[in-house]
Amino acid sequence: MGNPNQIVSDPFTATLIRIKAAQLCRRTDFSWSDRDDLTQQMLLYLLEKAHLFDPARGNIEAFVTNAIDSWVAMELRFRGRHKRRGDYEAISLEGTLVECDGDAVPLRTVLGPADQQRRRQAAPACQFDTAETAEAVAAVMATLDPEDRDLLRLVAEHGKAAAAREWSRRSGAAVSRRQIQNALERFRARFEAAGFGPA
């Protein structure tokens, strides 16, 4: 009943699949190199199930969420079954001995931060990029009013609820978390205009 192209091309679908793929890639049984494959498999599953969508019974968001959640659950069950079969072998960092400087030492003692980044498929932070980002953030922060900068730091350090309480105490008037959220939306627009934001 549903139009497969409409379901797959819906912006909500793309966002949800991107989020679910990233969540799965953070698990130890997946890696970041699996992200494209996971995305394609979820899209394929949606195309297979698109005929079940009935606009009279619900909206696209509910259908897509239900279908993707079902696919994720099936994929995790499949992976778990594969692990329990016995042909899946994990390498013990304690029990595996490697040679280092002529001695046999546990594998965990020779692994460093670069190995962790490689395992997680994460690129190491480039010092130039880090300095450039810090400079860009400082430039945007300089365009904010001192009061806005203070509020932003409060939220970053203590969260919205604590920032609302502190702002209420300072101003002598009640400040709600919704008002704090509205201010954050204004700040977000400034940062997005400067090139920060979702990739």
What domains are defined for the chain? 4-84 (no CATH), 91-124 (no CATH), 127-193 (1.10.10)
User: Comparing 24-33, 87-96, 133-142, which segment has the lowest mean pLDDT?
Assistant: 87-96
- pLDDT recorded at residue 100: 81
Query: pLDDT tier at 121 (50, 70, 90 boundaries)?
Result: low
- pLDDT recorded at residue 64: 92
Residues 41-89 have pLDDT tens digits of 999 999 999 889 888 888 989 999 999 999 999 998 888 776 666 665 6
Residues 88-101 have pLDDT tens digits of 566 777 888 888 88
Query: pLDDT tier at 199 (50, 70, 90 boundaries)?
Result: very low
Locus of tokens 């304690």: 94
Residues 148-189 have pLDDT tens digits of 999 988 888 888 888 889 989 988 999 888 999 999 998 888
- The C-alpha atoms of residue 199 and residue 184 are separated, in whole angstroms, by 19
Half-sphere exposure of 190 (CA within 13 A, CB side): 19
Mean pLDDT on 124-137? 74
- The C-alpha atoms of residue 156 and residue 154 are separated, in whole angstroms, by 5
Query: pLDDT tier at 122 (50, 70, 90 boundaries)?
Result: low
User: Comparing 21-25, 73-77, 106-110, which segment has the lowest mean pLDDT?
Assistant: 106-110
Global pTM reads 0.45
Q: Which two tokens stand for residue 196?
A: 């920060």
Question: SS in 3 state form for the chain?
Answer: CCCHHHHHHCHHHHHHHHHHHHHHHCCCCCCHHHHHHHHHHHHHHHHHHHHHCCCCCCCHHHHHHHHHHHHHHHHHHHHHHHHHCCCCCCCCCCCCEEEECCEEEEHHHHCCHHHHHHHCCCCCCCHHHHHHHHHHHHHHHHHCCHHHHHHHHHHHHHCHHHHHHHHHHHHCCCCCHHHHHHHHHHHHHHHHHCCCCCC
